[in-house]
């Protein structure tokens, strides 16, 4: 099997996907914007070839690179990156070279918030009310004097170009700065973010799943310059699993990770927020492993390679990610945290600069079998003097 992997160097811990594929005999051909000598030696060793482009955003250059491999080493069987940034590019390559996996037309529900709502409806999962908006009168009709509402690009990633509209004055201001593309307006929901995350096999069967509880959504984290944290649960709530499975089945997620977010409302009900056909961001794949003492990098590689190793798992621990931003005066220093929570901290590292506004400058992973202790750890890490 021949697989093209986009951006094999970033994020660094995703190199384990490439090493896993090589272990199962898959030939991995990387396309990146780095020269060979700048790649980690472990990645170079695991790959069967590498093609450098000027920038990965240049679709024509990436098509040329994939074509080079397709013409010189044989048909490309898969293309992957596991990153939101390159999902469209992956689909274009699949369509161009007739590669197995979702094509551009099949991924519109991932790109467009409006089509995501349609998916939730087909999956019979409740979601916040929303619609595409094009003029101010339509917006006023949707709002019906019930502020606030939320406006974001129909096609967009993260917190970019998003607005909380709390008054008609805010609405007028938005129409003074809005871009020409479509925007999606939805009811402003105040709740706790909970996720349904996992991995499917080649037939779309879920082979791993878990759930996380988040301190806040990324829009508020960025707007308020907060430290973010989130933790995995040991027992996935029944409604999260039910709705999550319905969405995965309806979306037709095959041999891929998935990340589905919900709002947990004050009355404990759920509203679906979004779905992504990729692993959750940051260090969450490492959290999967630390929570269950498994290796999801190996599991995914084995699925792609058509192998069937044992994939049993037990959620033994609550595993948390805790980000800390440098512009804070913390009660505990890095060394003091390690001294106090020795044995509970499983990993820490500097985060990538493009992640600072959300994930913080330094990220920690910690685990505990007891949720009360897990929350004490989170409190100590985020306690500001």
The answer on 232 and 314 residing in a single domain is yes
What's the order of all strands across the beta sheet hosting 318-324? 270-276, 257-264, 192-200, 206-214, 229-232, 318-324, 362-368, 345-350
Is 116 contained in some domain? no
Lowest mean pLDDT among 20-29, 208-217, 295-304, 366-375: 208-217
The answer on 233 and 171 residing in a single domain is no
The answer on 241 and 177 residing in a single domain is no
Arithmetic mean of pLDDT, 181-190 = 91
- pLDDT for the residue 159: 62
Cα–Cα dist 303/353, whole Å: 32
Mean pLDDT of the chain: 94
Is 117 contained in some domain? no
With a cut of 90, say whether residue 354 has pLDDT above it: no
- pLDDT for the residue 112: 87
The answer on 171 and 26 residing in a single domain is no
The answer on 97 and 161 residing in a single domain is no
The answer on 146 and 90 residing in a single domain is no
Lowest mean pLDDT among 39-53, 60-74, 149-163, 337-351: 149-163
- pLDDT for the residue 110: 84
- pLDDT for the residue 158: 59
Is 113 contained in some domain? no
Is 277 contained in some domain? yes
The answer on 344 and 236 residing in a single domain is yes
The answer on 182 and 205 residing in a single domain is no
Question: What's the CATH number where 91 sits?
Answer: 3.40.50.20
Cis peptide leading into 211, omega within 30 of 0?
A: no
Question: What's the CATH number where 298 sits?
Answer: 3.30.470.20
Cα–Cα dist 286/14, whole Å: 10
Is 151 contained in some domain? yes
The answer on 96 and 53 residing in a single domain is yes
Q: What percentage of the chain exceeds 70 in pLDDT?
A: 99
pLDDT in tens, 131-177: 999 899 999 999 999 999 999 898 866 567 888 999 999 999 999 99
With a cut of 80, say whether residue 222 has pLDDT above it: no
The answer on 144 and 248 residing in a single domain is no
pLDDT in tens, 242-251: 999 999 999 9
Q: What percentage of the chain exceeds 90 in pLDDT?
A: 86
With a cut of 90, say whether residue 119 has pLDDT above it: yes
Cis peptide leading into 47, omega within 30 of 0?
A: no
DSSP symbols for 188-222: ---SEEEEEEEEE-TTS-EEEEEEEEESS-HHHHH
DSSP symbols for 162-187: -EEE-SHHHHHHHHHH--SS-EEEEE
The answer on 204 and 73 residing in a single domain is no
pLDDT in tens, 74-104: 999 999 999 988 999 999 999 999 999 999 9
Question: What's the CATH number where 133 sits?
Answer: 3.30.1490.20
Task: From 106, 121, 147, give the residue that closes a domain.
Answer: 106
Q: Exposure of 180 by Cβ count < 10 A (0-12 exposed, 13-18 middle, 19+ buried)?
A: exposed
pTM for the complete prediction? 0.92
Domain of 96 in residue numbering reads as: 2-106
Is 119 contained in some domain? no
What's the order of all strands across the beta sheet hosting 149-153? 130-133, 183-187, 149-153, 163-165
Using an 8 Å Cβ cutoff, are 25 and 31 in contact? no
User: Dihedral (C-alpha) 124, 184, 204, 101: value to the nearest 10 degrees?
Assistant: 150
The answer on 299 and 266 residing in a single domain is yes
Cα–Cα dist 296/283, whole Å: 12
* Residue entry with tokens 């105040």: 190
The more confident residue out of 152 and 210 is 210
Task: From 121, 153, 187, give the residue that closes a domain.
Answer: 187
Work out how many domains the chain is built from and give that number. Answer: 3
CA atoms within 13 A on the CB side of 256: 26
Give the DSSP H or E segment for 96: helix 87-97
């Amino acid at each position: 099997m021949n697989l093209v992997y986009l951006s094999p160097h970033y994020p660094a811990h995703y190199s384990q996907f490439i090493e896993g594929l090589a272990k199962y005999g898959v030939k991995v051909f990387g396309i990146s914007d780095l020269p060979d000598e700048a790649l980690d030696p472990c990645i170079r060793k695991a790959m069967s070839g590498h093609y450098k482009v000027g920038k990965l955003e240049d679709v024509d250059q990436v098509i040329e690179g994939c074509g080079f491999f397709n013409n010189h080493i044989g048909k490309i069987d898969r293309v992957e990156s596991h990153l939101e940034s390159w999902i469209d590019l992956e689909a274009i390559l699949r369509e161009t070279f007739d590669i197995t996996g979702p094509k551009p037309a099949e991924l519109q529900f991932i790109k467009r918030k409006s089509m995501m709502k349609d998916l939730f409806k087909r999956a019979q999962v409740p979601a916040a009310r929303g619609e595409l908006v094009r003029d101010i009168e339509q917006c006023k009709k949707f709002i019906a004097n019930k502020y606030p509402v939320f406006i974001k690009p129909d096609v967009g990633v993260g917190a970019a170009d998003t607005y909380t509209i709390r008054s008609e004055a805010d609405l007028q201001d938005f129409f003074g700065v809005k871009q020409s593309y479509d925007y999606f307006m939805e009811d402003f929901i105040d709740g706790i973010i909970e996720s349904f995350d996992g991995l499917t096999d080649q037939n779309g069967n879920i082979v791993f799943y878990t759930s996380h509880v988040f301190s806040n959504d990324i829009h508020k984290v960025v707007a308020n310059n907060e430290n973010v944290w989130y933790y995995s649960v040991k027992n996935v709530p029944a409604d999260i699993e039910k709705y999550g499975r319905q969405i995965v089945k309806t979306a037709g997620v095959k041999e891929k990770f998935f990340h589905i977010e919900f709002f947990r409302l004050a009355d404990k009900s759920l509203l679906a927020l979004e779905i992504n056909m990729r692993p959750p961001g940051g260090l969450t794949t490492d959290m999967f492993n630390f929570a269950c003492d498994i290796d999801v990098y190996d599991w995914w590689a084995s699925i792609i390679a058509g192998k069937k190793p044992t994939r049993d798992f037990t959620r033994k621990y609550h595993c948390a990610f805790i980000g800390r931003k440098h512009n804070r005066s913390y009660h505990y220093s890095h060394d003091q945290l390690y001294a106090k929570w020795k044995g509970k901290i499983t990993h820490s590292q500097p985060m990538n600069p493009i992640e600072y506004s959300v994930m913080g400058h330094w990220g920690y992973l910690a685990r505990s079998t007891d949720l009360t202790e897990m929350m004490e750890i989170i409190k100590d890490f985020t306690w500001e003097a």
